[in-house]
Structure 1
Amino acid sequence: MKIPSFVIVLAVAAALSGPAAFAQDGGAVINATFTSDVADGKPVDFRQQFMNSTPAVFYYGELVGLTGQTVKLRWSLEGKSKQEESIKVTRAQQPVWSKMKMQEEWTGDWTVMVLNGQGQVIDQRNFAFSPPL
């Protein structure tokens, strides 16, 4: 059975519109990562694990479909809240980053949640902060 070309085009368009479609539903975060630093508005590396000698960890992401909202970036260690930052979104696609100054004893599994203006979690990522092996 041959599939008409317009069906394939529609399927590709639907797949590519994922973040935009989600953005209409309450916003989205794209290109999210953890990094050891942000330079010129971009992450310098892409990491999921950091040694406990690392002085700071950055969460970087691009907010889509959240113009006019205030989003919250919530950092927690093993389920215990450590920091919350509010960011006012002024553009349709806005890069943002948040810095956590780390302490050597804060080893374990970290989570950063991004909450839209309605308090819905629109992104959640984890990284490990551990001593060298």
Structure 2
Amino acid sequence: MQVVWRTARSLVLIGLLLGPAWAEQPQTPAAPAPAPAAPAAPTLSVARDAVAANVVDREPQDAAETFAPTIHAVYYFTEVHGAEGPTTITHRWLYQDQVVAEVTLEVGGSPWRTWSSKTILPEWTGTWKVEAVTETGQVLASKTFAIQ
């Protein structure tokens, strides 16, 4: 009987010592929590734009697609929506597919009206294009016009 008790006591001790080890499951490190999504950048858009002979009271005047070579300057007007605080856009002027001027303009909120102008020499006849471009280079709007 003593042998049975010794054996039983030995089994209980072994169970107490090894029990927690048997019960433990190997643990794999938890996957890191996904990083919080970056806030979406404000989506700028151009609600309206025009190439015009002038801008008066923040509105384009005499908008057209063709201008005479005698015009002194052409204006590009843009009304920007979606700005959440100060940002900039650039008016990129192209003559015969070559960039001839870039004008960076402040956008202080939404909606925001802004414009730039380009002096036109009489010999600069032909096709022109002007683009409204974000700080990241995205073209928001463009207009093609001619000097004839």
1:128 offset after TM fit, Å?
Answer: 0.6
**Which residue of structure 2 aligns with residue 104 of structure 1?**
122
1:25 offset after TM fit, Å?
Answer: 6.7
1:54 aligns with 2:71: yes
**Which residue of structure 1 aligns with residue 143 of structure 2?**
125
Q: Aligned to 2:142, what secondary structure does the other structure show? A: strand
**Structure 2: gaps of 5 or more residues:** 1-40
**Which residue of structure 2 aligns with residue 38 of structure 1?**
55
Query: Aligned to 1:91, which of 109, 120, 136?
Result: 109
TM-score for the superposition, normalised by structure 1: 0.75
1:46 offset after TM fit, Å?
Answer: 1.7
Separation in structure 2 between the aligned mates of residue 26 and residue 75 of structure 1, nearest angstrom: 23
Separation in structure 2 between the aligned mates of residue 69 and residue 29 of structure 1, nearest angstrom: 14
The aligned amino acid for 1:83 is: A
Q: Aligned to 1:54, what secondary structure does the other structure show? A: coil
Structural RMSD (CA): 1.4
1:52 offset after TM fit, Å?
Answer: 0.6
Same amino acid, percent of matched pairs: 27
1:65 aligns with 2:82: yes
The aligned amino acid for 2:55 is: V
Q: In 2, are the aligned partners of 1:41 and 1:95 still within 8 Å (CA)?
A: yes
1:68 offset after TM fit, Å?
Answer: 2.5
Separation in structure 2 between the aligned mates of residue 124 and residue 25 of structure 1, nearest angstrom: 20
Q: Size of the alignment, in residue pairs?
A: 107
